[in-house]
Homo-oligomer: A and B are copies of this chain.
Amino acid sequence: MRSDAGPVFSREFLSAYISGYADGEGCFSISIAPRATLAVGWEVRPSFSVSQNQDRAEVLQVLKAYFGCGSIRPDRSDKTLKWETRKLDELVGRVVPHFVRYPLLSAKQLDFERFAIVCLRMADGEHRSRLGLISIASIVREMNPGGKRRYNADELWSSLLRKQVKG
């Protein structure tokens, strides 16, 4: 009767499928960068992204529709497209609950769990205090050791330990 439509997949199928896809192609990352305008001197930026070759980007559209957030754009580092969300309310309200309910089966789950803890602490505002940021930075340091680090760890630690910030 619906010859114009593709197959219809259940929400449960999509949920598990997306976790499987993200286990291979997804990236939970948290960058910490100097930001002079912030009292604590550093900005914490969590991101969940999934990359795919441009010729098979259909799943990125599925991800965008499923989570109801994020944007798709070319990845500057290579010839892929990337769906990404960086907004804390979307990460805490949509991404984290999904992967709690439909967990990853590989060791990437450990990265997700650290990512989730940092997002939840940020939702409580902990990244705005020195002690909270030290705690967050300790967690981030354990994440994805093979990945590219966007900040100078020594600089971060000496700054946090030196800085006179309320917290």
Contact = CB atoms under 8 A, between A and B. Distances in A.
Nearest to A25: B24
Q: How large is the interface on A (under 10, 10 to 19, 20 to 34, 35 or more residues)?
A: 20 to 34
| Chain A interface helix/strand/loop/mixed | helix
Q: How many copies does the complex hold?
A: 2
Interface in A46-61: 52, 55-59
B56 A106 contact: yes
A102 B55 CA distance: 21
Contacts of A103: 7
B102 A13 contact: yes
A52 B106 contact: yes
A50 to B, nearest CB: 9
B23 A23 contact: no
A108 interface: yes
